Structure 1
Amino acid sequence: MVAIKAHEADRALAKLDPAWRLILIYGPDSGLVSERATALARASVDDINDAFQLIRMDGDDVAADPLKLVDEANTIGLFGGRRAIRVSPTSKLLLAAVEPLLSTPSQDAIVIVEAGDLQRTNPLRQACEKARTALAVPCYGDAARDLGSIIDEMVRAAGKSIDRATREQLTGLLGGDRQTSRREIEKLLLYVGDDPAVTEAHIEAVVGDTAQREQAALVDAVFAGRLAVLDLALTKLSSEGLDSGVMLGGLLRHALTLLKARQSVDGGRSARDAVSSMRLPFPRMAAAEAALNAWSVQKLTEAVGILGTATLAVRRDGELARPTAARTLWTLARLAQSGGRGS
């Protein structure tokens, strides 16, 4: 049985067991799923741009004809060498395509399957976790420590520097989606220009305190079920052109933080103590404590799943991004109104 925790993912991917011939990379953080799949593909072949070495397959096509994946995995490369097959995410069932490769894995190619947020009971996830020939890799929203590492990595690569306080300020403005976070950091570094260091002034100029307050108001309104405040904040942020992925990323990150805090409260910690560890600005602490008391682990887990699915949908279809995000926010707010602690 090969099931790993989220914090073990990078270490497991860096030192793959040769017996693992199919890697399922899944989770609500679609940016992190894509980033890890790309890194694994790059490490698995000699030339990632060679179409004979890296074969890309559409998930919908594989679901429609499961034998396509089996045939490709069992094809012998014309020029020898290492091969990798990368299957893009799909909302359709892939179990029929994957099962034959779990029992009889490819000897010639490593198969990388990308997926959205799969619950514990999902047949594909269960099959991969139980198989000795596969590895299931979960990808959840970035924690503050992970975001700090990403910021440091990108700032160094740009030849700049950033102090601890500024890094923490930037971390607080980034969402739980890896891809979105990288885009925001890239935008910031472009604005910094020839300046040697990233400063709080740069961050305020690019992100803006007003946008930060509006996003915070939106997040708190959703988890409090305050529909009127939600409507006002959503209208303002949409008119200002806030990316729907960034909006959902902020909500997802907060939901994950609330979930972790709620679990600690269920373990005996006080709600006030749990909120103090969430690193929120003082004005938001009361709202966070109220949400923590109102939402159960079960309902917060459901909220994380809803946000993960919506984030993936927004990434797939930009034209439907705004209505998808709005519908998701209203769904969560109504869930809060119905009693987040309900079953």
Structure 2
Amino acid sequence: MTAVRPGDVEGLLRRGPDPRIAVILVYGPDTGLVAERARRLAESAVTDPADPFALVKLDGDTLAADPGRLVDEAGTVGLFGGQRAIWVRSGSRNYAPAVEAVLKGGSAATRIVVEAGDLAKSAPLRVLCERAAEALAIPCYPDDARSLADLIDGRLRDEGLRISREARETLAASLGGDRRASLGEIEKLALYARGQAEIELEDVEAIASDVSASALNTLVDAAFAGQVSEVERLYRRFQTEGLDASVMLGGALRHALTLLAMRLDGDGKSPSALVAGWRGLHFRRQKIVETHFARWSPEALRRAVTRLQEAVLACRRAGGVFAHALAADMLVRLALDAARRS
């Protein structure tokens, strides 16, 4: 088996994968973390990531239509020599045969990084890469407290900034559902604090969106528990108070990602056992989160994550009252879906 444990991923990224590895699959529910790690692995394999002859980017649907193309690209010698890498972005079709052909051909001279979505254990691509000695399968789940602290310190250090312990803990408490969203908040804070020696608590409170605040949790919990009228009431309240539509949807997305990650890691555990293993979950939320686990299967959560991601993007593009109309409709539809599962 060449599946990498979540706790071992950062160490592997720091030291670099074994050069004998031909294919590296990066997958999981945290799409921002999947994209970041795939980029790091692809770009670190070449001297100049901006050189399209050195770093070749392919679409999964293209490979599904022409499985032999990946073998051809892997065997191509660079125009000016040097190491090459191929970065495959996931599509809607099955391109596992293209990856299988590369593994059979043994093209380890070219690093192939496959950026995939949230793959089930039985997904052909995941099964293939976990079983092949020449491949790695790297999972990407929402950051825990330790990895969030490392992420905050590392990104701020790159900007020449330090952060106090209290400020770090407060910032970390508002992050964690999606790596891309977390990085956005950290970079926004770094921009705000530029010129300072150290970031303090008041800086975090001034700029960071506390997406895990208890008030927002009431809306998210109502949606995933199927409480349609409560969702409508709370949404109107938060809209009147000026809360951004994409922030409300972002809270729902992070919750769905966390539910999905715990569902997959729990491997058949009961809702009460899953709640007991949820570190940091407030005791007042435990009963309603049990309801979430009881009503939402991994497959249903995957669909919810996809719909929420699309809705967040649509809200950011629409803005204003149109964004609120989209967000309210999305959350009500989530609640109706949950109610049907009761």
Fold agreement, TM-score > 0.5: yes
Aligned amino acid, residue 88 of structure 1: R
The 1:161–1:121 alpha-carbon spacing in structure 2 relative to 1, beyond 3 Å, is same
8 Å CA contact 2:24, 2:114 repeated in 1:
yes
Shift of 1:304: 4.3
5 Å matches for 1:116-155? 116-155=117-156
Q: Which residue of 2 aligns with 1:305?
A: 302
Name whichever of 23-32 and 4-13 sits farther off: 4-13
Could you report, residue by residue, the CA deviation over 1:233-262 in whole angstroms, capped at 9, with x for unpaired residues?
445469724357733443235425865997
Q: Equivalents in 1 of 2:59, 2:92: separation in Å?
A: 12
Q: Equivalents in 1 of 2:202, 2:106: separation in Å?
A: 54
Could you report, residue by residue, the CA deviation over 1:46-97 in whole angstroms, capped at 9, with x for unpaired residues?
2212222111112232223222222211212232211100011212211122
Could you report, residue by residue, the CA deviation over 1:256-291 in whole angstroms, capped at 9, with x for unpaired residues?
5865997898599696x656x4254xxxx3233332
Q: Which residue of 1 aligns with 2:286?
A: 288
Q: Equivalents in 2 of 1:210, 1:118: separation in Å?
A: 27
Aligned amino acid, residue 98 of structure 2: A
Q: Which residue of 1 aligns with 2:175?
A: 174
Shift of 1:216: 1.8
Q: Which residue of 1 aligns with 2:256?
A: 252
Q: Which residue of 2 aligns with 1:5?
A: 5
Name whichever of 326-335 and 69-78 sits farther off: 326-335
Tell me the SS of whatever aligns to 2:285: helix
Q: Equivalents in 1 of 2:179, 2:274: separation in Å?
A: 31
Task: Give the gaps of 5 or more residues in structure 2.
Answer: none
Q: Which residue of 1 aligns with 2:162?
A: 161
The 1:161–1:329 alpha-carbon spacing in structure 2 relative to 1, beyond 3 Å, is same
5 Å matches for 1:173-322? 173-207=174-208, 212-234=213-235, 236=238, 240-242=244-246, 246-252=250-256, 254-255=258-259, 259=263, 266=270, 274=277, 277-280=279-282, 285-292=283-290, 295-296=293-294, 299=296, 301-302=298-299, 304-310=301-307, 313=310
Tell me the SS of whatever aligns to 1:51: coil
The 1:328–1:105 alpha-carbon spacing in structure 2 relative to 1, beyond 3 Å, is farther
Aligned amino acid, residue 224 of structure 1: A
Aligned amino acid, residue 170 of structure 2: Q
Q: Which residue of 2 aligns with 1:104?
A: 105
Q: Equivalents in 1 of 2:103, 2:329: separation in Å?
A: 38
Shift of 1:126: 0.9
Q: Equivalents in 2 of 1:211, 1:12: separation in Å?
A: 30
Tell me the SS of whatever aligns to 2:117: coil
Name whichever of 67-76 and 228-237 sits farther off: 228-237
Identity of aligned residues (%): 35
Q: Equivalents in 2 of 1:127, 1:261: separation in Å?
A: 20
Task: Give the gaps of 5 or more residues in structure 1.
Answer: none
Aligned amino acid, residue 288 of structure 2: A
Q: Equivalents in 2 of 1:261, 1:77: separation in Å?
A: 41
The 1:146–1:130 alpha-carbon spacing in structure 2 relative to 1, beyond 3 Å, is same
Could you report, residue by residue, the CA deviation over 1:276-324 in whole angstroms, capped at 9, with x for unpaired residues?
x4254xxxx323333226624x945345433443466568877599698
8 Å CA contact 1:261, 1:292 repeated in 2:
no
Name whichever of 23-32 and 246-255 sits farther off: 246-255
The 1:82–1:325 alpha-carbon spacing in structure 2 relative to 1, beyond 3 Å, is farther
Tell me the SS of whatever aligns to 1:44: coil
Name whichever of 258-267 and 61-70 sits farther off: 258-267
Aligned amino acid, residue 83 of structure 2: R
Could you report, residue by residue, the CA deviation over 1:184-234 in whole angstroms, capped at 9, with x for unpaired residues?
111122223434332332222224669945532222212322122323444
8 Å CA contact 1:54, 1:84 repeated in 2:
yes
Name whichever of 29-38 and 310-319 sits farther off: 310-319
8 Å CA contact 1:27, 1:138 repeated in 2:
yes
Aligned amino acid, residue 81 of structure 2: G
Count of equivalent residues: 333
The 1:86–1:331 alpha-carbon spacing in structure 2 relative to 1, beyond 3 Å, is same
Could you report, residue by residue, the CA deviation over 1:88-136 in whole angstroms, capped at 9, with x for unpaired residues?
1212211122121121121431111111100011111111111122111
